[in-house]
């Protein structure tokens, strides 16, 4: 990414922009996903290259991730890394939960919070020590409480799909915030419930 290398994260891509909008000496750039669209006029359509490179296993990349680096006309970037929340349940605990509680595998955030609280404090690995209900929410990393909060809030606020807003009402010229409503309150409470039964259980 040219002179943008080894800069702080918020500056990543600035060197790439300088190169892309001048004579330029680099063939490719690395930048943050949020900045990809600003390069649309300076970079080529990568679709032909993707199609000609089956080794990339392009269809193994989640569709929403592929779209994040594309415009309506062309694929302008190839994703390198993406952080997102993915929930995994142990098969043995899932089966035991259904048998012991009569409840099915969690399908909603509310059910998942119930599931987490059920297992919290029980010995889940046979070492004689109580364990946490969820292995997540430890600190400010990609799996931190802020990521879980936005994952839950998005699923409640964007009930019509990702074309609707998460932070603000997209169709409102006043950019009305989407925080003071029942959906966001529910997301905050669910995040609190999960956090209090996680590895990092301190607010």
Token pair 């190839």 is at which residue? 78
DSSP helix/strand/coil, 198: strand
Q: What's the confidence (pLDDT) of residue 135?
A: 85
Q: Which two tokens stand for residue 42?
A: 């300076």
Q: What was the pLDDT predicted at 6?
A: 46
User: What is the per-residue pLDDT for 176?
Assistant: 81
Contact partners, residue 83, CB within 8 Å, separation at least 6: 142, 147
Question: Cβ distance 177 to 168 under 8 Å?
Answer: yes
Q: What are the C-alpha distances in Å from 19 to residues 9, 35, 164?
A: 18, 15, 35
Round to whole Å and give the CA distance between 198 and 19.
45
pLDDT tens for the chain, 203 residues long, are 444 444 555 555 667 777 777 777 778 877 777 778 788 888 889 999 999 999 999 999 988 888 888 888 899 999 887 777 788 899 999 999 999 999 999 999 999 999 999 999 999 999 999 999 988 766 555 556 788 888 899 888 887 776 777 778 777 788 888 788 898 899 999 999 998 898 765 55
Beta strands in 45-167 (DSSP E): none
pLDDT, residue 190, reads 95
pLDDT recorded at residue 158 = 82
- Predicted pLDDT at 12: 55
Q: Is 161 left (phi over 0), alpha (psi -120 to 50) or beta?
A: left
Cα-flanking dihedrals φ and ψ of residue 202, to 5°?
A: -110, 130
């Amino acid at each position: 990414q040219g002179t943008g290398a080894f800069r702080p994260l918020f500056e990543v891509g600035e060197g790439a922009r300088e190169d892309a909008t001048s004579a330029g000496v680099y063939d490719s750039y690395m930048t943050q996903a949020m900045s990809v669209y600003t390069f649309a006029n300076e970079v080529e359509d990568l679709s032909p290259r993707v199609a000609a490179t089956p080794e990339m296993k392009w269809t193994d990349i989640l569709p929403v991730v592929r779209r994040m680096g594309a415009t309506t006309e062309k694929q302008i970037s190839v994703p390198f890394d993406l952080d997102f929340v993915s929930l995994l349940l142990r098969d043995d605990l899932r089966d035991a939960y259904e048998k012991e509680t009569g409840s099915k595998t969690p399908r909603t955030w509310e059910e998942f919070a119930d599931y987490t609280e059920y297992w919290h404090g029980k010995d889940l690995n046979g070492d004689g020590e109580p364990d946490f209900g969820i292995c997540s929410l430890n600190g400010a990393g990609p799996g931190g409480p802020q990521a879980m909060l936005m994952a839950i809030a998005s699923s409640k606020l964007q009930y019509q799909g990702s074309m609707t807003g998460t932070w603000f009402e997209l169709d409102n010229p006043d950019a009305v915030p989407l925080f003071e409503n029942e959906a966001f309150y529910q997301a905050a409470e669910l995040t609190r419930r999960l956090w209090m039964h996680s590895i990092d259980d301190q607010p």
